[in-house]
Amino acid sequence: MTKPSLPGSVLFACDLNVVRSAMAEGLMKHLFGDRVYVDSAGVTANEVDPFAIAVMAEIGIDISRHKAKALDDLADNSFDLVISLSPRAQHAAVEMTRTMACDIEYWSTQDATDVQGSRDQRMDAYRAVRDHLRQRIIERFGEPPLRAEAPAQKRA
């Protein structure tokens, strides 16, 4: 079996760039950020969702400084791969890349903001999206390289 290859650059796209694509960008940077350029955008932009920030922090990834942006606001739109995470983003990605030489993939991903209920129920929905995205990234790009462990602290 051949090892999946990493593209040089990946753009994750969803509706608002505040949950799904922001989490996917954070995960991809955490797993492969030293080997591939990663960005994200939405069809439109909004403020990053606090539930998304919280569930990513649970696994040690800080997306609290993520600045949401719209596809139209990208400074550079020359990506090797665009992964859309919602039907609206898929349509926008097809339009955006009509004259570009890049691949587009659609990963159907639940919108955690649709879930109503208690804080715990909502957090579980966001965790499910986070875990789904992590699994899809690993399935598509392979297991990430092992990170070097920090040297052990010396005892005084």
Going from the N-terminus, what domains does the chain have, and what CATH number goes with each?
9-141 (3.40.50.2300)
Q: Residue 36 pLDDT > 80, yes or no?
A: yes
Provide the pLDDT for residue 100.
Answer: 84
The average confidence (pLDDT) of the chain is 90
pLDDT band of 151, cuts 50, 70, 90: very low
pLDDT digits (tens, 9 = 90+) for 42-63: 999 988 899 999 999 999 999 9
Mean predicted confidence (pLDDT) in 17-26: 97
Confidence tier at 71 by pLDDT (50, 70, 90):
very high
117: left (phi over 0), alpha (psi -120 to 50) or beta: left
Per-residue pLDDT, 78: 86
pLDDT tens figures, 87-135? 999 999 999 888 888 999 999 999 999 999 999 999 999 999 999 999 9
Q: Which of 28-37, 79-88, 140-149 has the lowest mean pLDDT?
A: 140-149
Q: Report which secondary-structure segment, H or E, holds 49.
A: none
The pLDDT of residue 147 is 58
pLDDT in the model for residue 99: 84
User: 57-63 long-range contacts, Cβ below 8 Å, gap at least 24?
Assistant: 58/127, 59/130, 60/30, 61/26, 61/27, 61/30, 62/26, 63/22, 63/23, 63/25, 63/26
- pLDDT of 149 above 60: no
